[in-house]
Amino acid sequence: MKKVKALIITGFGINCEEEMAAAYRLAGAEAEIYHLNDIFNGIVSIHDFDVLNFPGGFAFGDDLGSGKVLSNKMKFKKMNDGCLFMDEIRKFLADGKFILGVCNGFQFLVKMGLLPDVAGNWQQEVTLTRNNSAKFEDRWVYCKVNPKSNTPFLKGIYVLPVPVRHGEGKLIIKDEEIKKGIVEKDLNCLSYCDADGNITDKYPLNPNGAELNCAGLINSTGQVFGLMPHPEAFLSLYNHPNWGQMKRRNPNISEDGDGLKVFKNIVESLTSP
């Protein structure tokens, strides 16, 4: 059976690369961490991998808005062969491969224009900006999966409990036409909700005030997936702050964290005939 290979990008302030690599390894994939400059300089090729991953962190200190500097670096970088890095990403997706961005990584994908890409031209249509609370939110939330969203990352998940750790996670949509496209194409794949799956805009269940209560987006093919919460931070039941009570209530509960399912899903999708 083919072994799925995941490439995790690091550098310039990204700091969740080890957790993401651990997620893929626990899910049965091979995971390699490389500095973005290694890709730009041709030391490693994204085309040798099945999933390209942009982890969380604080790229360039978020000085010009979260993810803006690094997204521009990726969007306009010329490779040694004269092609843009974005051309490499275009080919990567054309080959049927997948991209995941978490937190700061989600901000990269949005500001590079890869998400939600309603118009199909890779121009920025939404942004992720300062939380309504005007403070860094570090808390556990629940996210409801849109059952109509076409992505293997979320297969079989109904409600996903996960931690958020961000100061700029509020999704703002460019205009009503883009918003209509997001809704009609079911690109809003994750919405903040309560423990029972009821979508809500109430703080702190919605920790940032995002439009459409959006916690995650996909593109129209489902190959590109970005989300503000950190599934790689819930790989084990024992990551959960309430694991003791959960175990007492259900002694046979799985010791896998719910976030691990996201990574198992994509690995299974890539290895299924």
At position 236, the amino acid (one-letter code) is S
Structural domains present in the chain: 5-271 (3.40.50.880)
How high is the pLDDT of residue 130? 95
* Model confidence, pTM: 0.96
d(Cα 5, Cα 62) in Å, to the nearest integer? 29
Distance between CA 155 and CA 152 in Å, rounded? 5
- The pLDDT of residue 255: 96
Residue located via tokens 């039941």: 237
Q: What pLDDT is recorded for position 65? A: 74
Give the DSSP letter of residue 3.
Answer: P
Q: Which of 143, 166, 232, 240 is catalytic?
A: 232
- Apex 258 CA angle, 256 and 261, nearest 5: 85
Share of the chain above pLDDT 90, in %: 89
pLDDT for 1 equals: 66
**Active-site choice (16, 137, 230, 240):** 230
The mean per-residue pLDDT over the stretch 241-270 comes to 96
Is 230 annotated in the active site? yes
Q: Find the catalytic residue in 16, 103, 143, 189.
A: 103
